[in-house]
Chains A and B, each alone.
Chain A
Amino acid sequence: MSTAPPDLTPAQLEAFGQELDAIRARVVADLGRRDVDYINKVIRAQRGLEVAGRGLLFCAFLPAAWIGGTAALSLSKILDNMEIGHNLMHGQYDWTGDPRLDGKTFEWDTACPGDQWRHSHNYMHHTHTNILGKDRDIGYGMLRMSEDEPWRPYYLGNPLYAALLATFFQYGVAMHDLETERLAADEAALAARRDKLRDIWRKVRGQTLKDYVLFPLLSGPSFPLVLAGNATANLARNLWAFTIIFCGHFPEGVQEFTEEEAEDETRGEWYYRQMLGSANLTGGKLFHILAGNLSYQIEHHLFPDLPAHRYGEISDAVREVRDRYGIPYNTGPLHKQFGSVVRKIVKLALPPLPGRSGSEPDADKAAEARPRKLASVA
């Protein structure tokens, strides 16, 4: 499946970048009421599902109400985190000037403080996508997700760590910006980490108080049932978000990069890396909405600040450009892509086969086929 990406000349990369810029410009020129109506509709649906879910859980002693309430609350948290929170915090709706849609101040219904997410995700991950050693989304500092990461016995637990990360994903995301796998170098770094920890604690406290103390208490005798319903909704969101996010960058065939390769990139080269480092998911309209349109991960990585509901509309145009430049387009249904991610997690738990010195032949081939740093492009 991993077709080697073509070695584009600097001139080709330049033209390639301009074509993608033009796609972006067309959307930007067309932004308007339709986009705001769309996101407001999703927000309205999310708030409605949340109120309905919490309301139904007050009757949690009726099995149907427990199931309905938990399902509604799960959907609410998924919409809040994916299509609303993730996308607003990218600044996708900053052009509206509406303080309620402001990417800098929006806060979402999960353990991770919005401000830390804006740094770890919008900056670290989106700027350094799939650069080993810089993009900490590769394995979240816990998993071995790349052949180029040297194997250690610790990684025998790779599948177990992945299962734990998926289950407690909101806390994994919350701890993400602390960079715990890196030892603090100096006083200032320690102090910064203390501040971050304090903010995480505040956010986790607010979330815990709401989901695991206040709503269960208010329901009186249904306390354990409401607690269980809220925990299930959080779990459902955790598993869903983990699945969608890992399918965005880790199916077989998605490329990784070194810091040298990404040095002094031009706009065209940056687009090129984003394309090779992301994978899409196919599915119906509702699936894309619940995935926060991260099922269009490629389009999202090219244009992280365009309203995500536009990605589907421009995907044909993006694909047409890619085809013309002969760049492979990594896409597939959820079960296929996720299966590929699971195989990778399991495979990388094991040491490389003897005699292959740390990396497998197809990885070597891919590394060779990858364009070297195009230093001649000023």
Chain B
Amino acid sequence: MESKTPRTTTSSRGFGRRLLRSSLLEALAYPHGVDRYVELVRPLLVQRDVRAEVTAVRHQTPKSVTLTLRPNENWRGLRAGQSVGLSVDIDGVHLTRPYSPAGSEHSSDGALELTVSTHPEGKVSRHLRDHARPGMIVGLTQAEGDFVLGEPRPERVLLISGGSGITPVMAMLRTLCDEGFAGEVGFLNYARSYELALYSAELGELADRHEGLRVARGFTRARGLELAGRFRREHLSAVISEHASAATFVCGPPALIDSVRAAWAKDGLPEPAVATFTPPALRFDTACVEGSICFAASGRKVANSGLPLLEQAEDAGLAPEHGCRMGICNTCSCRKMAGSVRNVFTGETSTAGEEQIRICVSVPIGEVVLDL
């Protein structure tokens, strides 16, 4: 919308941005910083954080929501296949989850498209499905990830996906189509049923318009449709002439990735590029008493001894900052990147996502990753 505004406005906005970024204003806003004032009036105008406004919301299937986002000027863009962290506040708690945008890297207005599939345990996905409205502001991280097409583009591309894993390969497909890609593209996608399949209409249209593109869909819980059941090597011939020489990208549940890998190994081919979207809330919910503690910043990993994390860190030879060692002073507060912990005094169990914890009174429940 605003990207179509005339140049005069752009230059006055440029002046506004330079003013907001000036060191004088920063000195006047010390110690909070200009953004902490600006965001109370215009949340998108902040100079540091990436934020986006939801401009459109649609529901392709009952179990998903597709959002169109307009990021603010701090957004540095992305390559098809990469993922972003999206943050929302739910009941006062700030939660961040990774999603792969599904739009082309060449989208003319810089908009992002996110298709979020809901998960029965997924707080963020359900919140977005039920509450996302145009005008809503969300937080973003810059795009990251190596699951990308690469330059120059390969001559033959094979994109395999399952469930919500369709989004990064959809971004790749749309990007190739926008580039007028002359090579061969095979798009093989699995969904539980036709009703739950994403991007069906658009995939049909793209296949009609682009000669080198072949699309086939498998429905794992329905019979008599295009392809039956889960991934099998025979399915490949429906979309590609020769998979051995195709740059292959696979995204989906671990079972799909495993079976593709097995097929490739059987043919003696190098591993395809893979990405998986197991939500972090699930990855650690099998509470295993052993597990290991990973101190990410110092690159150390130790077996979980069951002691509070501060002691485990010290036993591992680290010297984390700490004070009272009894959960009072917050000096030892540390970012937990993954895993769940239990408070030794209160028995409270944390969520599995990223959060600040007091390591002196937190014992790990299985696998935990700390920013230490």
Residues of A within 8 A of B (CB): 21, 24-25, 28, 31-37, 43-44, 47-48, 51, 89-91, 94-100, 102-104, 107-109, 118-119, 122-124, 126-127, 203, 206-207, 209-210, 214-215, 218, 267, 270, 304-305
Contact = CB atoms under 8 A, between A and B. Distances in A.
Contact of A122 (B32, B91, B323, B346): B323
Contact of A119 (B92, B323, B345): B323
A358 B328 CA distance: 34
B32 A109 contact: yes
B329 A123 contact: yes
Closest 7 pairs (CB-CB, A-B):
A123-B323, A36-B92, A123-B329, A91-B330, A127-B324, A97-B94, A122-B329
Chain A CB within 10 Å, residue with most, of B327, B328, B333: B328
B240 to A, nearest CB: 44
Contacts of A207: 30-31
A19 to B, nearest CB: 14
A222 to B, nearest CB: 16
Given A28-B346, A126-B324, A305 B24 contact: no
Interface stretch (B4-12, B298-306, B348-356): B348-356
Given A108-B31, A109-B32, A210-B28, A103 B89 contact: no
B93 interface: yes
Contacts of B354: 97
Contacts of A25: 346, 348
Q: Is the interface of A mostly helix, strand, loop or mixed?
A: helix
A188 B25 CA distance: 38
A91 B356 CA distance: 9
Nearest to A17: B345
A100 B31 CA distance: 13
Nearest to B346: A25
B331 A21 contact: no
A364 to B, nearest CB: 31
Contacts of B330: 89-91, 94, 103-104, 118, 122, 305
A43 B31 CA distance: 14
Given A94-B333, A127-B324, A214-B28, A103 B345 contact: no
A51 B37 CA distance: 9
B40 interface: yes
A206 B31 contact: yes
Nearest to B343: A28
A127 B323 contact: yes
Contacts, number: 113
B324 A214 contact: no
Given A94-B333, A103-B356, A127-B324, A32 B36 contact: no
Given A94-B330, A214-B28, A47 B324 contact: no
A99 B40 CA distance: 15
Interface residues of B, number: 33
Interface in B28-75: 28, 30-32, 36-37, 40
Interface in B87-122: 89, 91-96
B27 interface: yes
A119 B356 contact: no
A307 to B, nearest CB: 10
Contacts of B27: 206, 209-210, 214
Contact of B328 (A34, A47, A119, A126): A126
Interface in B330-372: 330-331, 333, 345-346, 348, 353-356, 358
A48 to B, nearest CB: 8
B244 interface: no
Interface string B313-333: 000000000011011111101
Contact of A214 (B24, B40, B346, B356): B24
Contacts of B24: 214
A119 B353 CA distance: 27
Contacts of B345: 21, 267
B140 to A, nearest CB: 13
A37 B89 CA distance: 11
A262 to B, nearest CB: 12
A230 to B, nearest CB: 12
Given A96-B94, A123-B324, 6 more contacts: A21-B346, A24-B346, A28-B346, A28-B348, A96-B89, A206-B27
Contacts of B331: 118-119, 122-123
19 contacts: A21-B345, A28-B348, A32-B91, A32-B92, A35-B92, A36-B89, A47-B36, A51-B37, A96-B93, A103-B330, A109-B32, A119-B331, A123-B328, A127-B329, A207-B30, A210-B30, A270-B326, A305-B327, A305-B330
Given A91-B333, A209-B27, A210-B28, A37 B324 contact: no
Contact of A304 (B28, B91, B328): B328
A24 B323 CA distance: 21
B329 A100 contact: no
A199 B120 CA distance: 48
B25 to A, nearest CB: 10
A155 B36 CA distance: 44
Chain B CB within 10 Å, residue with most, of A97, A103, A123, A206: A97
Contacts of B329: 118, 122-123, 126-127, 304
A31 B36 CA distance: 24
Chain A CB within 10 Å, residue with most, of B32, B323, B331: B32
Interface string B273-314: 000000000000000000000000000000000000000000
A97 B331 CA distance: 16
A91 B95 CA distance: 17
A130 to B, nearest CB: 14
Contact of B91 (A33, A48, A98, A203): A33
Contacts of A35: 92
